[in-house]
Structure 1
C-alpha cells in the first residue's frame, strides 16, 4: 500500500507551481501559427495540464475529442506549460490557421518577378473586378481566382500596405480578394490580417467578417452574424451575446429578431 504524500509537501509543491505560473506568459496565437507552420514548436520542456474554464482539474476524457490548447513560455521564450481546455470557437479558428497550406500557384520564380512598387497600381482594377462580377452576372469564381493570382504574390513579398499609401478602395480590394477566396486561403492569410489590425492598418471589423466566413465554410455557427445565406440562414453562436461581441470589434448592433 502506497503512503499518502504529507499535506505540508502538497502545499509546498502547490506554492512552487503557482510561483512558476506567475513567471510564465501566454503565447500569442500568431506566434503559435508561425511555430507550427515552420515546424519550430518545441514542447520537449513543457508540462501538460488539463483544466476547465474555472481552472479546476478535469479528466482527460472530458476533452480528448475536442479541446483547445493554451501555451505558456518563460522569459527566454521556452514553452514550459501546455494547458488543455474545453474547445471554444477561438480554438477552432486557430486550428483552421495551423492546418492551412500556402496557395499551390505560388512558387519562388513567381515571387522573384514581383515589384512592390506596382502593388498599389493594380488595386483599383482588383476592386472593380470583384464588385462587377457580383452585380453583372459574370463568372464570380473565375474573377475571384484571377484577383487571387494577382494579389497574393504581392501579399507574400510586400505584405499589407499602410492605408496612408493607398485609398480606402485599395485596402478594401486586398481584404475582399482574400475574403472571397476558399477557406484554405482565408485561413492561411488570416494571421497577416490580424497583424494588420494590430498595426492599425485595418479595422477590427474585417476580422469579424473573416472569422464568420471561416466558421460557415467549416460548417460551424458564425460568431458576429455577418454572413447571409442565399437560402435559409447561417446560425449564430450564443445569439443572445452577438451584439456584445460585435461591440468588441467596433461594429454596430443588429436586431436579434432578424436572426
Structure 2
C-alpha cells in the first residue's frame, strides 16, 4: 500500500511538473511569424480544420464561444503550428499596434477570398460614357437605400473592370470628369485586389490632369490600410469596437499630415474629421 502511495505521488509530481514546464501546451510546436500566420490562415480560410486551442496568457484554455463575443482586435495573438504548418495553439495577450494592423489586413484578405470571381462582359468602347453615367446613377441609388444591394455593387464592379480591361483608362475628353471619377469611385470601394491592380492607371489619369491628385492620395491611404500599414493623408476613418467611437486609422508622421494633404488639394484634418464626429 505504501508502495502504491509513493507511485501515485511520483506520478502526480511528474504530471504537474510537465504542466508547469509547458503551461501552454506548445512543446514540439513552432512559433509562427505574423506573415507565416497570415499566409496559413488565408490559405485555409473556409476549410474544415482541426480545432485550434486558444489560451489566455496565464495558460488557461479560452472557450471559443467566449472569444467570438469580442472583436478580433481585443487581443494580440501568438500562433503555434506543428511540422505540417497546421496551427494548433493560439495564445491571447495584450494587443500591440502591429497586432491591430495584422488583424485588419487578415480580415481584408479573407473577405477578398470569399468574393466571387469577375467574368468580363462585352463592352462597346465607343459608348462607355453612357455606361458610366448609368453605373454612377445605380451606385448612388444603392448607397442611398436603407440596405445596400451587394449584387448591384458587384454588377457595377464587373462593368468597370471590363471597361478597364478591354478599353483601358478613358480620358476626360472621352467620358467627361464624372466618367473618370466614377471609375475611381467604384475601384476605390472594391476589394484590395482591384485597387492594387488598377492603381497605375489612375496615377496616369492624375498626370494627364483627368483626375484630382487628392483622389489618388485617398486611394493610396486605402491601399496602405489594405496591407496593414499606416496611411499618409489621414483619409481612412475606422470604427473602434473597443471604444464605440470613430477614429482616424493609424497615421504616419501625424505632425506633417496637413502639409501632405495641402500638396494634393485636401482640406486640413481638423476640418475633414468633423463630419465623423472626431476632434483632431
Pairwise TM-score range, normalised by the shorter structure: 0.5 to 0.7
Count of aligned pairs: 154
**Any conservation in 2 of the 1:130–1:144 contact (CA below 8 Å)?**
yes
**Any conservation in 2 of the 1:130–1:176 contact (CA below 8 Å)?**
no
**Any conservation in 2 of the 1:194–1:207 contact (CA below 8 Å)?**
yes
> 1:117-132, aligned counterparts within 5 Å?
117-132=126-141
Distance of aligned partners of 1:240 and 1:185 in 2 relative to their CA distance in 1, 3 Å threshold: same
Distance of aligned partners of 1:187 and 1:124 in 2 relative to their CA distance in 1, 3 Å threshold: same
SS at match of 2:127: helix
Q: CA offsets per residue over residues 182-210 of structure 1, 9 Å max, x none?
A: 11111000011111111211111111110
2:128 pairs with 1:150: no
Query: Aligned-residue CA RMSD in angstroms?
Result: 2.4
Give the corresponding residue for 1:105.
118
- Distance in 2 separating the partners of 1:175 and 1:165: 15
- Distance in 2 separating the partners of 1:159 and 1:175: 13
Give the corresponding residue for 2:206.
197
* Rg larger for: 2
Q: CA offsets per residue over residues 208-252 of structure 1, 9 Å max, x none?
A: 110111112222221111122244321211111101111221222
> 1:163-174, aligned counterparts within 5 Å?
163-174=172-183
Runs of 4+ in 1 over 4 A off after TM superposition: none
- Distance in 2 separating the partners of 1:174 and 1:258: 32
**Any conservation in 1 of the 2:128–2:175 contact (CA below 8 Å)?**
no
Give the corresponding residue for 1:114.
123
Report how far residue 254 of structure 1 moved: 2.1
Distance of aligned partners of 1:251 and 1:186 in 2 relative to their CA distance in 1, 3 Å threshold: same
2:255 pairs with 1:255: no
**Any conservation in 2 of the 1:124–1:170 contact (CA below 8 Å)?**
yes
**Any conservation in 2 of the 1:148–1:181 contact (CA below 8 Å)?**
yes
Unmatched 5+ stretches in structure 2: 1-115, 241-245, 272-277
Report how far residue 106 of structure 1 moved: 4.5
Report how far residue 151 of structure 1 moved: 1.3
Q: Equivalent of 1:222, from 231, 246, 255? A: 231
- Distance in 2 separating the partners of 1:216 and 1:182: 12
